[in-house]
Amino acid sequence: MMYVKGVSATTLDEIRAASGTSKSQLYRHYPDKDALVRDVVALQAVELLERQHQLLRRLNSLRGLERWRDAVIEHNALRNGAYGCPLGSLASELTDQDEEARKAIARYFDTWEGMLSAGLVRMKDSGVLRADANAGELATGLMAALQGGYLLAQTVRDVKPMRIALDMAIGHIKAYAVPAEDGNPPEGGTRGH
């Protein structure tokens, strides 16, 4: 509900009704609404990161990156882009409101970006990407394109800008691709292993 309607627009009474519990239960577990919100963010983040981990765990090819893009876009297309990113929309509402929440969200973004970065590193190791490709920066660019795409898609109620943004980011990564050789790419680096 907080993701869909916004945090401040979601009342404790609605939460109580939706969860089928009572006020005393809420306050047994959380000192106040802010604490509950932080836990909601944590839960949302864990679910998101878990899903992303499934998608990115074995990422080590450009095809895999495109499959990831398709999965993310398809997921967002279901709602015509409404609500935006499960983490990003909460981020933008909370960052200038609750410093503790901001730091937590920054960490979640960091681990998410780390998954992308790890995949890109594997692509470097297996010779798909050139050695001079900066995996960290490419991952940041990918994340920014994703988040920007989410926001634009959300306002236009159409996934198209998100697709364009992700294609741009992936195209940028492809610029670091090692040109295709005959046969298989080299099996890892032979030196410095």
Residues found near DNA in the complex (CB under 7 A): 10-13, 20-25, 27-28, 32-33
Spatial neighbors of 46 by CB under 8 A, at least 6 apart, are none
Distances (CA, A) of 114 to 9, 50, 173: 32, 13, 16
| CB 25, min distance to DNA, A | 5
Query: 5-11 contacts: CB < 8 A, separation 24 or more?
Result: 6/89, 6/93, 7/37, 7/90, 7/93, 7/94, 8/93
9 binds a second copy (CB under 8 A): yes
Number of residues that bind a second copy (CB under 8 A): 47
175 binds a second copy (CB under 8 A): yes
Q: Which stretch binds a second copy (CB under 8 A): 37-45, 52-60, 64-72, 171-179?
A: 171-179
- With respect to a second copy, which residue has the nearer C-beta, 31 or 171? 171
91 binds a second copy (CB under 8 A): yes
Residue given tokens 């990564």 in the structure block: 173
- With respect to a second copy, which residue has the nearer C-beta, 8 or 54? 8
27 binds a second copy (CB under 8 A): no
Q: What is d(CA 112, CA 109) in angstroms, rounded to the nearest whole number? A: 5
